[in-house]
Amino acid sequence: MAERNLLADASRILDKARNSEIKGNCTGVLAAEVRSLGYDAAICKSRWDKNPSFPAGEHEYVDTVVGVDRLLVDAGFQSEFEVARPSKTYRAIIQLLPQVFVGQPHRLQQIMVVASEAA
């Protein structure tokens, strides 16, 4: 229930931000608005260095605590999996992913396993 409520709130916030003149960091807007609704939320940034297998990069998401549950909110979830020349299988799997992810870390890990295997 907490995931569904947070997803509804996050989707509404992101739709409003995209339809307004607010440009720039959707994650920052999302975190601020979610906090204004009473959630315990903060922006988290992941960074990694280049290695032979993948390029350096960074990613932002919102880490939210609802009751005793830790929920991650990723505003551009599906787009993070885009690759050049995807196979039909990979494309089909990625199209099943939500635009906005709200869920516990173990659910994200399960999705990552499936997407990685398809890639």
Confidence at residue 116, expressed as pLDDT on a 0 to 100 scale: 85
Confidence at residue 15, expressed as pLDDT on a 0 to 100 scale: 86
Confidence at residue 21, expressed as pLDDT on a 0 to 100 scale: 62
Q: Concatenated DSSP letters for 35-77?
A: HHTT-EEEEEEEEE--BTTB--EEEEEEEEEETTEEEEEETTT
Confidence at residue 17, expressed as pLDDT on a 0 to 100 scale: 81
Domain of 32, in residue numbers = 2-118
Nearest in space to 41 (alpha carbons), one of 54, 50, 29, 31: 31
Q: How many domains does the chain have?
A: 1
Q: What is the mean pLDDT of the chain?
A: 89
Contact of 41 with 63, CB cutoff 8 Å: yes
Q: Is 71 exposed, middle or buried (0-12, 13-18, 19+ CB in 10 A)?
A: buried
Stretches in the chain below the pLDDT threshold 50: none
Confidence at residue 117, expressed as pLDDT on a 0 to 100 scale: 86
Confidence at residue 22, expressed as pLDDT on a 0 to 100 scale: 59
Confidence at residue 12, expressed as pLDDT on a 0 to 100 scale: 92
Nearest in space to 14 (alpha carbons), one of 26, 32, 2: 26
Tokens of 11: 């989707």
